[in-house]
């Protein structure tokens, strides 16, 4: 399914989706009528505009408002975890490379993974009786995301029971393999920690695997400081990055959750 996700994503991400849209419009016009140069120019302009708008802050903010759910911060309170007997589950999102005390290279939490595991640490640091499951396989060269996150917690002096799921290579496998471990321990409810942009799909996949989820996101919400009203319509690298990230989530939801 990972290959299917990447294949579909290649077609539906900008600028390829704009080119495909132009081709579809053109083929339909050929089928139903003989297109004039004027008509071809019009559909070309429409496709170009739709491609352009995906690179702008205004579209990034619109997509963010549609994709990011409104999570209640009360769900992240440890009292909720203790009261319900939940496990905390943290998803990895890539690793960096570090050096251990013996001078050997090892995977370390970096980027989004670092933010996620730090969020988890803030939740569990004063409650050593709360078990935690770290999910993420080997996506780099020097160890799994799960082990990298565990090392972070060990360095912080955490004494909680820590379980590792280190086989998964994508979010679908995160949910599948983590659910297998949780089911063996008769756990049906979890506090899930991952990026806010990733939570929508992650929650749906865990629930697809019969695990009930309380969400506790690390907020990676898109921010754009505009000095002028028209800045929102100017092409921006940060906006493009946000759009591609969220389209990745939408496509992943369709491929993994709906099918």
In a shared domain, residues 82 and 183: yes
**Alpha-carbon gap, residue 195 to 48, rounded angstroms:** 32
Residue 221 lies in a domain: no
Residue 229 lies in a domain: no
In a shared domain, residues 61 and 78: no
Residue 223 lies in a domain: no
Q: In the prediction, which pLDDT does 226 show? A: 73
Q: In the prediction, which pLDDT does 243 show? A: 93
**Percent above pLDDT 90 for the chain:** 46
**Alpha-carbon gap, residue 194 to 209, rounded angstroms:** 17
In a shared domain, residues 64 and 100: no
Count, in order, helices (H) and strands (E) of the chain: 10, 7
What domain count does the chain have?
Answer: 2
**Which two three-digit tokens encode residue 110?**
């970096």
In a shared domain, residues 205 and 110: yes
In a shared domain, residues 28 and 87: no
In a shared domain, residues 36 and 153: no
Residue 225 lies in a domain: no
**DSSP for residue 218:** B
Q: In the prediction, which pLDDT does 102 show? A: 56
Q: What is the dihedral of CA 172, 176, 177, 181, to 10 degrees?
A: 150
Q: Domain range spanning residue 157?
A: 73-215
Q: In the prediction, which pLDDT does 77 show? A: 63
Low-confidence ranges of the chain (pLDDT < 70): 1-6, 69-75, 77-85, 99-106, 140-141, 227
In a shared domain, residues 59 and 79: no
Q: In the prediction, which pLDDT does 10 show? A: 74
Q: In the prediction, which pLDDT does 126 show? A: 82
In a shared domain, residues 167 and 78: yes
**Alpha-carbon gap, residue 84 to 221, rounded angstroms:** 29
In a shared domain, residues 121 and 15: no
Cβ proximity of 177 and 165 under 8 Å: yes
Q: In the prediction, which pLDDT does 172 show? A: 95
pLDDT in tens, 34-55: 777 788 888 889 999 999 999 9
Residue 227 lies in a domain: no
Cβ proximity of 147 and 215 under 8 Å: no
Residue 220 lies in a domain: no
Residue 138 lies in a domain: yes
Q: In the prediction, which pLDDT does 127 show? A: 83
Q: In the prediction, which pLDDT does 229 show? A: 80
Region of residue 228 (phi > 0: left; psi between -120 and 50: alpha; otherwise: beta): beta
pLDDT in tens, 58-86: 999 999 888 886 665 545 766 555 556 68
Q: In the prediction, which pLDDT does 139 show? A: 74
In a shared domain, residues 60 and 77: no
Nearest CA-CA partner of 198 in 170, 217, 212 = 217
Q: In the prediction, which pLDDT does 154 show? A: 92
CATH number for the domain that contains residue 177: 3.40.50.620
Q: In the prediction, which pLDDT does 159 show? A: 85
**Alpha-carbon gap, residue 85 to 191, rounded angstroms:** 10
In a shared domain, residues 195 and 84: yes
**Alpha-carbon gap, residue 142 to 175, rounded angstroms:** 23
Cβ proximity of 107 and 96 under 8 Å: yes
Q: In the prediction, which pLDDT does 70 show? A: 60
Q: In the prediction, which pLDDT does 80 show? A: 56
Q: In the prediction, which pLDDT does 28 show? A: 80
Residue 222 lies in a domain: no
Burial tier of 204 (Cβ tally within 10 Å: 0-12, 13-18, 19+): middle
Name 117's Cβ contacts closer than 8 Å, sequence gap at least 6. 90, 109, 134, 149, 152, 153
In a shared domain, residues 34 and 82: no
């Amino acid at each position: 399914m990972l290959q299917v996700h990447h294949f579909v994503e290649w077609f539906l991400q900008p600028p390829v989706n704009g080119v495909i849209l132009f081709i579809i419009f053109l083929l339909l016009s050929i089928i139903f009528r003989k297109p004039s140069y004027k008509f071809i120019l019009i559909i070309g302009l429409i496709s170009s505009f739709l491609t352009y708008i995906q690179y702008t802050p205004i579209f990034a903010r619109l997509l963010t408002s549609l994709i990011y759910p409104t999570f209640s911060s009360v769900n992240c309170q440890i009292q909720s975890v203790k009261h319900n007997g939940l496990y905390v589950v943290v998803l990895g999102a890539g690793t960096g490379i570090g050096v251990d005390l013996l001078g050997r290279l090892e995977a370390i939490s970096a980027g989004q993974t670092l933010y996620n595991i730090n969020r988890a640490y803030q939740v569990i640091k004063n409650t050593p009786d709360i078990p935690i499951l770290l999910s993420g396989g080997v996506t780099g060269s020097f160890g799994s995301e799960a082990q990298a996150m565990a090392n972070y917690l060990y360095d912080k002096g955490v004494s909680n029971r820590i379980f590792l799921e280190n086989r998964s290579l994508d979010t679908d496998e995160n949910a599948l393999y983590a659910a297998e471990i949780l089911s063996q321990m008769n756990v049906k409810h979890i506090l899930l920690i991952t990026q806010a942009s990733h939570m929508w799909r992650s929650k749906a996949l865990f629930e697809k695997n019969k695990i009930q989820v309380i969400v506790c996101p690390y907020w990676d919400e898109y921010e754009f400081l505009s000095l002028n009203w028209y800045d929102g319509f100017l092409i921006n690298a940060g906006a493009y990055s946000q759009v591609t990230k969220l389209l990745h989530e939408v496509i992943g939801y369709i491929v993994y959750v709906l099918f």
